[in-house]
Amino acid sequence: GAVVSQHPSWVICKSGTSVKIECRSLDFQATTMFWYRQFPKQSLMLMATSNEGSKATYEQGVEKDKFLINHASLTLSTLTVTSAHPEDSSFYICSATRGDRGRTEAFFGQGTRLTVV
Amino acid sequence: DAKTTQPPSMDCAEGRAANLPCNHSTISGNEYVYWYRQIHSQGPQYIIHGLKNNETNEMASLIITEDRKSSTLILPHATLRDTAVYYCIVSNYGGSQGNLIFGKGTKLSVKP
């Protein structure tokens, strides 16, 4: 099946610093990728839609200046958490939909555990 | 808000069939029923999806009622590795529209 890879799998950073998370589609091109956040014992919440070559679309309540998204190529989207604070500690997950060959299911990365201390 | 309702938890004996129900009474005509699962501390994994007809693949079977207001995911021979949270989602084309709304899912515990 299609593979979506995230890096790093986990990261610990100091409060006030920025962290970049990468999401790659390894064997297909993804014009659109999605970023989710999941707090402990809660479900996934869609944060933003990342569009190749254009600005990301953010869900209501998600600060675009804090969560910078760049989708510079058809296989890579990055999420940068700027000036991270402990409340940003969460599990961040990306997904991409393979639109070719009539496939419509979304494939998810393995997630990135961010801990801000 | 999620458009589906699932029981919060279920238990299943190893080797037996696991039947996970989902209600989606407000599903519209062009929405598919998707099932994903999330094993602890991993990203969700696609299982199966369907529109009207029952579907089967190497992982599971999906039974959709004729009125499409509910469905059941069947894992025919559950193993301990099937312990996970299972999410039933209704969506146009699995999220290509950016509208994968996750509910709370069903936490399936497969016991020896």
The pLDDT tens digits of the residues spanning A50-98 come to 888 888 999 999 999 999 999 888 899 999 999 999 999 999 999 987 6
The pLDDT tens digits of the residues spanning B37-46 come to 999 889 999 9
For residue B95, is pLDDT > 60? no
Instruction: Identify all chain A residues contacting B102, using CB atoms and an 8 Å cutoff.
Output: 36, 43-45
Task: Select the more confidently predicted residue: B33 or A97.
Answer: B33
CB atoms A46 and B96 under 8 Å: no
Side-chain half-sphere exposure of A2, counting CA atoms within 13 A: 24
For residue B29, the model assigns a pLDDT of 86
Q: Chain A within 8 Å of B32 (Cβ-Cβ)?
A: yes
The pLDDT tens digits of the residues spanning B15-30 come to 999 999 999 999 988 8
For residue B65, is pLDDT > 90? yes
Rg of chain A, C-alpha, whole Å: 14
Compute the distance between CA of residue A92 and CA of residue A104 in angstroms, rounded to an integer.
22
Return the beta strands (E) in B1-112 as ranges: 9-13, 18-23, 32-38, 45-50, 55-56, 61-64, 70-75, 84-91, 106-111
CB atoms A44 and B46 under 8 Å: no
The pLDDT tens digits of the residues spanning A29-46 come to 887 899 999 999 899 999
User: How big is the A-B interface in CB pairs under 8 Å?
Assistant: 64
For residue B31, is pLDDT > 70? yes
